Chains A and B, each alone.
Chain A
């Protein structure tokens, strides 16, 4: 090139070409280093061994009749296992895919048979640590224990690691069980630990609380504490199921509800105190003080307003105290806020007759005839008091919200043709146990039902309980226990009822392939929800469904009737 004046121009052209090259490369993703990697992903419920042995999908819960493992049964049922409950280890049980051992100990013969079962590829779950695991070598060999370091060790809390129950890693500092301290064998994966308060434990070693042992061929899950007795322990089973080497999928409900019980309460039962504290009348207090705060908290937390009115809170309420005229106004206020109104009986104890349930139904038909109440919470009533009414006065009720009694009283199900939604938590009671059980419920079904009983406000048990302290506890609880699940669907009770019915009836069938899941919605079903879990599983192609990542390796799938053949791909 003799003409040097063009040299710089050539360089400029080079720069432009360079930029174009980069743009094209980046747009094609050539510089992203996003290389395809091969991952094995099989997704059948059972392993090939299980399928070959014809035991796929069968489970046995072996527990004493007086100590049923309700959580285990619920969890296995949720996972579509054919569950049988027995009291002893039978030959039939040894041919199952999963055995839940609910007894507190096992004999040498049982240990040998269970060892053979696990060596054959079966999954064994110990509800609690067998009593002889501290001493007997054969049990230790079965449970993955290498050595006993201390027979009983005090703890100052327990910690569940992320990747097991939904909600991430959480430490429960108020749960302080005494645990046996074991050194575990190779092949053990620990999911929960106790935090030792041993002063000499300078390296902050933890005490295995819940672990899996794979050294024998199959899986053995051992838990030192009993989490499977109550219905809300079902999540532990699904969490164990999710620890497979392949991604797993199971149906869920995906409905979180929050219900205010006793709002409004029509009977004027404690006006003197209300007037003294709030300078309002009974009814004014509900609509001028409580309603704005309740609406605000519901809106902030993302829940639709769901309230259940009651005629009277106590059995002492007389008819003259009831201001039925304001019922219409109350319904207008709630429904006008896109909320839902239900009916609850007195939350304090009493009989159906004394709490005036029939009277309340009649008043509803009189004052708000256009609005049909379909949800009902029996409050403090015994089952015998209100179940017969389902055929008469409560015949229009479709959804039953069964109350919190310190542990979930009942699982999801159908009672007299009505959908049972179990209340897992009280909005004002935040205990480590309730939080742990909330994690479990969410893991199993991705649903929780919470109630806030206003009796504590209008009929306070102590001097320091008023609306201010109640709202503080409520708000604290909302930002604490439920925070990890803030992105899940919040619905009214009616919507939760629909989703629960769909879930119970298996309205959406699914089938897993190597890296795909295909769905089929049954006739009339609106949608279906599933949880896809696996180590770093990623959904990348959805047709007729949507996928949302809840946490690492956990995807919420919603199947809708947009496409005749909904399916998704994952890797």
Chain B
């Protein structure tokens, strides 16, 4: 299974990359040619995603989405647009091919010769491409080796659960799987209006490649994390002067235990919020580029633009609109960066509104440090127009669905409740220690001086940083890096104000400040925009940049001191390698469940939500591939209910076991499919418990007869899946064993490993088997209660009862004899 999962990760990586990159590469080939590699990657990510999401959501909302139409909507429209835009070239190419066909038909050109020639050209192109690639890699060999090392570490780390435990990690994922599957049935926004950008991409890949959503989402976490890290590196590469400084910072995120599990553990899973982070730094890059072009515009360029504007005013309205959005050309064009920036903002909104909150802060931080650009003519106006236009595009599907009667999805309501100030102590950060630090102080309170207030805020910030960053050395390292970034950027802006390098670093610092602010600062009167645990993910991502800042500063110093760039690079490379070697600082002391402490060099990633075992996924894979859809029912924990959607029926184990309580003769329970699979845990999972890598086993409790004897009240709720899971599973295992005894032949042990058992019950759909059985623990509690009552009675009373019971037994025997004789006679008489 591990090998299969690894291959599936590779497979999904290739599929995703092709789906996203092929489209813009084919149709924006000319634009890509003039870009740097890093820009190309960001361009393809933004354009590919925007195109796919827009088309898929448009078709889904109109209920016309099919694989063919999705293909035509993306590649077909692209092809038509290309032909219209380049009609003369296309026409010439067609004529040329027509001529070749004519020669082939008339025999003027030999077919074999033609094919050989085309093949030779293709081989030559591939050869040149490989050579160019090799040459490129050779020229950046050391950088790529270090980058590969970091990425390998990230992949190993973030794919560990998928590769070794197989199961889904969080309870959100099955819900998203269901939503994607519902899209394939034309039922978009099935649970309410929600940003469906990520789902649209997943559905697009699933529809065009036919890959099962269950497989896709299980391994997609690793794939999207890889791309998120790559975009982070691409942005860092653009930020830093030294490529090795970029890698140094990047390495902190990929290889070290610098951050708390809540800041990094979600990268393991395929979730929309993390996918939205893919567009955050490309957005920042293109906004910075947009501002930079405006800021560095010369007087001649401005005069030329004014002339063009005057000319435009004399044009008809449509031509003016076209000119306003303009056709980008050349390195100095502001239109393309602006388009890509606006599309990125739109994408963050399409995918997850939390990312939009972060994006807003990042944009604000960049704008604050590039205020000069806003003073330039047309800059602000164009910025607002483009952003509004693309936001409208992102909103249209949701607004349309809402306007046509679809309600808002429940998690949006939850998001709103977090956003509203004073939403209650659901936030992790709002615990007693934090409250003690911050709540006593209130802005403008005469009892406290400014100094007290500032001290309180600093304490709160440090507390929050400790929450995002591992304690111990890492807290001091990251704090130093953040402060260094502030000082370094300010100094740079003061002393080299014409260079925007310092402004860029200052933007990063301001962004960090924003992220800290938006969690919960009632004393400042700020609303809480984001839950603390979610905010820490963004914080960890941006703090890796600040960790790169000192290295870049060192490189700048070296380059200044030793003007020979090669030497500075070499020294920087060595420093980077040393950093990587030293970066595996031990993780802090971890308090285990039994109270013991351990010091481990491992990274303390937690699964956070032990939703299901690998065995569950193996069974699901098996059912999907071997059994016809809708001929089977899976009885298991609620986590699988969304995963089997569209393939089979699902029966919640908890509901079923609860219904079997207080069993009486004559009770009936039927599941109306030919096959019934019952999946129970031999080691009941400890839901939402922590686990530190690389343990092979998920945290779990043990089955016991004592637990099985506990009576489940009808109002037990979901607690049976959390705190009392061992009660549920202890009962379920006994139930399963009883079914095996009652229905041999029909009941087989379908799957079993150390963690789960799955039995398969094959029944005649016309004569269903009664699954309501007395398994010894659904009626035994009566006896237990009776026994307890009996303990309280006196010995004398017990003796009396025993005597009475004996008499009753004797009387019963006699009555039975009489009854047998009587009924026998009656029958004979009949």
Task: Give residues in A with beta carbon < 8 Å to B.
Answer: 1-15, 17-18, 21-22, 25, 30-35, 37-40, 105, 107-108, 131-132, 134-138, 146-147, 161-163, 183-190, 193, 206, 214-215, 217, 219, 242-246, 534-536
Contact = CB atoms under 8 A, between A and B. Distances in A.
Nearest to A22: B11
Contacts of B29: 7-8
B665 interface: yes
A9 B621 contact: no
21 contacts: A5-B33, A7-B32, A8-B26, A9-B129, A25-B7, A30-B4, A31-B11, A33-B625, A37-B750, A108-B816, A132-B820, A132-B824, A136-B819, A137-B816, A184-B770, A186-B667, A186-B742, A190-B764, A245-B745, A246-B744, A534-B745
B133 A37 contact: no
Contacts of B770: 184, 186-188
Contacts of B35: 4
Given A3-B132, A5-B33, A161-B766, A138 B126 contact: no
Interface of B: 1, 3-4, 7, 10-11, 14, 17-18, 21-22, 25-26, 29, 32-35, 37, 40, 122, 125-126, 128-130, 132-133, 136, 618, 621-622, 624-625, 665-667, 740-753, 762, 764, 766-767, 769-770, 772-774, 816-817, 819-821, 823-824, 826-827
A21 B12 CA distance: 12
Contact of B25 (A11, A18, A131, A215): A11
A245 B17 CA distance: 49
Contacts of B816: 108, 137-138
Contacts of A12: 122, 125-126
A134 B823 CA distance: 9
Contacts of A184: 770
B827 A9 contact: no
B125 A9 contact: yes
B820 A6 contact: no
A218 to B, nearest CB: 11
B568 to A, nearest CB: 23
A189 B665 contact: no
B136 A1 contact: yes
Contacts of B130: 13
A15 B742 contact: no
A7 B25 contact: yes
A31 B618 CA distance: 13
Given A30-B7, A40-B749, A536-B748, 12 more contacts: A1-B37, A9-B129, A35-B622, A135-B823, A185-B665, A186-B773, A189-B746, A189-B767, A245-B740, A245-B745, A245-B748, A535-B762
A25 B199 CA distance: 27
A162 B740 CA distance: 21
A146 B22 contact: no
A189 B25 contact: no
A68 B532 CA distance: 83
* Chain B CB within 10 Å, residue with most, of A12, A33, A187: A33
Given A21-B10, A38-B751, A2 B136 contact: yes
A243 B744 contact: yes
B762 A536 contact: yes
Given A5-B33, A108-B817, A14 B132 contact: no
Nearest to B136: A1
Contacts, number: 165
A40 B40 CA distance: 56
B25 A244 contact: no
Contacts of B743: 187, 189, 214
A214 B751 contact: no
B774 A186 contact: yes
A4 B11 CA distance: 26
B767 A6 contact: no
B746 A535 contact: yes
A242 B10 CA distance: 46
Contacts of B3: 30
Contacts of A245: 740, 744-745, 747-748
A244 B744 contact: yes
A382 B668 CA distance: 57
Given A33-B625, A40-B749, A146-B665, A25 B741 contact: no
A12 B743 CA distance: 57
Contacts of A39: 748-750
A235 B774 CA distance: 33
B823 A136 contact: yes
Contact of A243 (B26, B122, B742, B745): B745
Contact of A38 (B745, B746, B749, B826): B749
A108 B21 CA distance: 82
Contacts of A8: 25-26, 29
A137 B816 CA distance: 9
Contact of B125 (A6, A40, A108): A6
Contacts of A188: 770
A108 B818 CA distance: 10
Sort A-B residue pairs by CB-CB distance and give the 10 closest, nearest first.
A245-B744, A4-B33, A9-B129, A6-B129, A187-B742, A108-B820, A135-B823, A33-B625, A190-B767, A9-B125
Nearest to B621: A33
A219 B29 CA distance: 74
Contact of A35 (B25, B136, B621): B621
Nearest to A204: B766
Contacts of A6: 125, 128-129, 132-133
With most chain B CB atoms within 10 A of its CB, the pick from A107, A185, A187 is A187
A8 B32 CA distance: 11
Contact of B741 (A5, A21, A162, A214): A214
A21 B17 CA distance: 15
Contacts of A7: 25, 29, 32-33, 40, 129
A190 B26 CA distance: 63
A183 B125 CA distance: 78
Contact of A193 (B11, B745, B767, B824): B767
A14 B14 contact: yes
